[in-house]
Amino acid sequence: DTGVSQNPRHKITKRGQNVTFRCDPISEHNRLYWYRQTLGQGPEFLTYFQNEAQLEKSRLLSDRFSAERPKGSFSTLEIQRTEQGDSAMYLCASSSTGGLREKLFFGSGTQLSVL
């Protein structure tokens, strides 16, 4: 399977705990994105990497959220001191560099539940 892979599929945590999610993009893709989706809404952009450089961050992204892509391959998204409002599906997507940004391919997501 050469699609975008995300782990874990589900995460249940208690309020105040830290959580970390992993994303492995399609191997030849140099762009990697994180999105968040809540029930009944479209995905909401969080941040974007080109290779190992984090080029964009949403103004909505709390400083409790941090993302890394240390070697330009897989990426991690960490949420510190989780709150109930962080409960959502966290989606990772990747794309390749073109003259314009090309098609996004999404993983299956990590469903986070904060109790």
Q: How far is the CB of 112 from other proteins (least distance, A)?
A: 13
Q: Near other proteins by CB under 8 A, which window of 17-25, 63-71, 73-81, 102-110? A: 102-110
Specify whether the CB–CB gap between 91 and 37 falls below 8 A: yes
Burial class (CB in 10 A: 0-12, 13-18, 19+), 100: exposed
User: What's the per-residue H, E or C state across 15-43?
Assistant: CCCCEEEEEECCCCCCEEEEEEECCCCCC
Dihedrals φ, ψ of 6, to 5°?
-125, 140
Q: How far is the CB of 26 from other proteins (least distance, A)?
A: 12
Binding mask 66-85 for other proteins (x = CB under 8 A): --------------------
Q: Near other proteins by CB under 8 A, which window of 17-25, 64-72, 79-87, 94-102? A: 94-102
Contact residues toward other proteins (CB under 8 A) are 33, 35, 40-45, 48, 56-59, 89, 91, 93, 100-106, 108-109
